[in-house]
Amino acid sequence: MKRIILFGAPGSGKGTQAEKIEREFSYMKISTGDLIRAEVNKKSVIGEKIKEFNVKGLLVPDEIIVEMVKKRVSAEDMTEGYILDGFPRTLDQVKGLTSVPVDEEIAIFLKVVDEDIVVKRILSRVSCENCGEIYNTVTQLPNKANICNRCGSELSRRSDDTEEIIKKRIIVYRDETLPVINYYRGKGNLHELDASGDINKVWKEIRELVR
């Protein structure tokens, strides 16, 4: 079992690259943001509990997200491995993840130094609520206006993709998740890529690391 972890600020391209890895290799993408949005939309008991954090751009409590991830990685379709998009985001989540053994782990940091780039990317992002496919109204349009190429559902903007909430999410990323990235860097197995430019250039580098 292989585990690929994608780190990076909101808007650094984790979701887009996770999709590409899932399509090319037999690893399953686990986006904790998607898992959370699905629970919130379903209005499940957990969804109601975590909604407040999610809409404000705050992290949902560690114990809830760790449970969700553990349940997902133990599903039957996880045979070859999985890609984590958006997890772990705190040092306590790292502890939770460490208790799930794998044969190989690849950690990749999608680095974007210029904050304006990520804010711009997020403000022009639209995605499919049904399958999670991500588009960009400037650089990556769907074939048919506002319709997902992959599943035909309608595209929409995420409710937390407003300028105010993005700023909050970036602060949370700096405070909570940079220490996690530093921890992986300290372990000596972090691959750091410049993710400020072309998506396909980043993808070529990731493909070499993953294969």
Give the residue numbers annotated as catalytic, written as ranges. Answer: 14, 89, 125, 158, 169
Nearer to ligand AMP, 91 or 199 (CB): 91
Q: How many residues bind ligand AMP (CB under 6 A)?
A: 17
In the DSSP assignment, the letter for residue 27 is -
Dihedrals φ, ψ of 132, to 5°? 85, -5
Question: Which is nearest to 192 in space by CA: 108, 113, 115?
Answer: 108
In the DSSP assignment, the letter for residue 159 is T
Nearer to ligand AMP, 27 or 29 (CB): 29
Least distance from ligand AMP to the Cβ atom of residue 56, Å: 8
Nearer to ligand AMP, 5 or 106 (CB): 5
Q: Where are the alpha helices (DSSP H) in the chain?
A: 14-24, 32-42, 45-56, 62-73, 91-98, 115-123, 163-172, 178-187, 199-210
Nearer to ligand AMP, 15 or 81 (CB): 15
Scanning 58-66, 106-114, 187-195, 202-210 for contacts with ligand AMP by CB under 6 A, the matching segment is: 58-66
Task: Specify the pairing of strand 155-156 against strand 125-128.
Answer: antiparallel
Least distance from ligand AMP to the Cβ atom of residue 86, Å: 3
Nearer to ligand AMP, 105 or 160 (CB): 160
Q: 21: which residues sit within 8 A by CB, 6+ positions away?
A: 4, 27, 29, 83, 206, 207, 210
Interface characters, 69-98, with ligand AMP (x: CB under 6 A): -----------------xx-x---x-----
d(CA 88, CA 63): 12
Instruction: Assess 32 for contact with ligand AMP (CB under 6 A).
Output: yes
Give burial (CB, 10 Å; 0-12/13-18/19+) of 149: middle
Instruction: Assess 10 for contact with ligand AMP (CB under 6 A).
Output: yes
CA-only gyration radius of the chain, Å: 16
* Residue from 6, 30, 59, 106 binding ligand AMP (CB under 6 A): 59
Instruction: Assess 57 for contact with ligand AMP (CB under 6 A).
Output: yes
Q: Which residues bind ligand AMP (CB under 6 A)?
A: 10, 32-33, 36, 53-54, 57-60, 65, 86-87, 89, 93, 160, 169
